[in-house]
Amino acid sequence: MLNKEAKLFVISAPSGTGKSTLIAEVMRLIPTLKKTISYTTRPPRGDEKNSVDYNFVSVDEFKQLEKQGKFIETATVYGNLYGTSLETIKTSLSGGQFLIKDIDTQGALNLKKILKDRAVLIFVKPPTFMELEKRLRDRCTDSDAIIKSRLENAVKEIKESVKYDHVIVNDSLEHTVGEFKDIINGYIK
């Protein structure tokens, strides 16, 4: 069997749409997928662990790494800095490793410019704004003000979805996981 060229699957979605849930499910179903770990200046949330969920660094450390050219792309999201490690991406892809990572729309489009066909952009839409608001409220992690800003940002993010390779709607979780898995398997198998 021919070995297909390794890809980085870049997943974007308005906050609260369900991208973390979908990524966790698809990684369970496709164990060869590896999650790339980004750098961020935001503090860990809940039971997040350093070097597992993110490399958590201070603003000074982040700026230092940026100066050293360690990042393939960086972005500021909700006031925190995020950066994707150039070395991790290059080493993994050239070693044939398929990667997955959720990245905001600015970072995703930058990665596409740099990695071209090696990056597959997948946008996940909420079924409706009302449902998005409900998921954000039910998650109980954000204040009313933050939920309002996430909903405003969602309108801008959804406009960018036309530039993505694939767009899926996270309505029924079971159905969306199946669709998501089929898209990824189309590149792997």
Query: Binding marks (x or -) toward ligand ADP, 124..153, rule CB under 6 A?
Result: -----------x--xx--------------
DSSP code of 182? H
Q: To the nearest whole angstrom, how small is the minimum distance from the Cβ of residue 64 to ligand ADP?
A: 29
21 binds, among ligand ADP, ligand 5GP, none (CB under 5 to 8 A by kind): ligand ADP
Q: To the nearest whole angstrom, how small is the minimum distance from the Cβ of residue 132 to ligand ADP?
A: 9
| Binding window for ligand ADP (CB under 6 A); candidates: 11-19, 27-35, 62-70, 109-117 | 11-19
What whole-number distance in Å separates Cα of residue 140 and Cα of residue 177? 23
166 binds, among ligand ADP, ligand 5GP, none (CB under 5 to 8 A by kind): none
User: Going by C-beta distance under 8 Å and a sequence separation of 6 or more, which residues neighbour residue 40?
Assistant: 54, 55, 56, 57, 62, 80, 81, 82, 83
Q: Contact at 8 Å (CB) between 85 and 71?
A: yes
Going across the sheet that includes 8-12, the strands are 34-35, 99-102, 8-12, 119-125, 166-169
Query: Which of 7, 8, 9, 13 is close enough to bind ligand ADP by CB under 6 A?
Result: 13
